Amino acid sequence: MNAEKIPDVIIARLPLYLRALQHMSENGLKSTSSQELGEKLGISAAQIRKDISQFGEFGKQGTGYAIPYLLDKLREILKVDRLWDVIIVGSGDMGHALARYQGFTDRGFNVVMIFDNDKDKVGEKIGDLTVKDSADLVEKVKTAGIKIAMLTIPASVAQDITDKLVEAGVKAILNYAPISLSVPNDVKVQYIDPATHLQRMTYYL
């Protein structure tokens, strides 16, 4: 197995397999098949078998996949067999919602800091977090060795903040600002923009 050679489209599907397997496991299931997984996900069984086999032989013909084992393997492959510290930049409505979201810790992520450049918001408590001043962003992120950030700031300041995050050593950005970001090759960006997602569906209406 050569990790460098696995196509991005396959990597993009693995979190969906992991999520479905976690649901099954929470419901007490111990084994599944590519057919069953495929029906839940709207992905063909053949595709699922092919994707998973890129990483080794995790299932047996006729008996399918042992869920706890496949869960462990997928977590290991996606490197969420650990808990990653994550920061949020922007303490508006979306930043609040993410800071209070309960669905991160059992999927590998721990929100440890939230920043805002609005002095009126700095010091505000959101759950266990206290809003920090964006002026201290680079220093605090660098010192803590944080690699992952979520951006919930206006598009107009998103590139500036991105440049600061890159300077601080961040390598993965989940961007809620409705704008495309420029980053070096070794930094990954994923985009969440509800209007873009909606526009991908209106074409078909």
Cβ neighbours for 185, distance < 8 A, ≥ 6 positions apart: none
| Contact with a copy of itself (CB under 8 A) among 96, 116, 146, 166 | 96
CA dihedral 140, 142, 145, 149 (to 10 degrees): 70
What residue spans of the chain are helical by DSSP H?
8-26, 34-41, 45-53, 67-77, 93-100, 137-144, 155-167, 194-202
Which residues lie across from 84 on neighbouring strands? Answer: 109
CA-CA distance, 55 to 14, in Å (whole number)?
Answer: 11
Q: In the window 146-175, what residues touch a copy of itself (CB under 8 A)?
A: 147-148, 150, 155, 171-172, 174
- CA angle 195/105/111 to nearest 5° reads 65
By beta-carbon proximity to a copy of itself, the closer residue of 60 and 180 is: 180
Residue 193 contacts a copy of itself per CB under 8 A: yes
| Residue count, binding to a copy of itself (CB under 8 A) | 58
Whole-number Å distance between alpha carbons of 93 and 19: 26
With respect to a copy of itself, which residue has the nearer C-beta, 86 or 89? Answer: 86
Beta carbon nearer to a copy of itself, 107 or 140: 107
Closest approach of a copy of itself to the CB of residue 141, in Å: 15
For a copy of itself, which residue of 31, 54, 58, 80 counts as binding (CB under 8 A)?
80
Residues in contact with a copy of itself by the rule CB under 8 A? 11-12, 14-16, 18-20, 23, 40-42, 77-80, 84, 86, 92-94, 96-98, 100-101, 103-104, 107-109, 147-148, 150, 155, 171-172, 174, 178-180, 182, 188, 190, 192-205
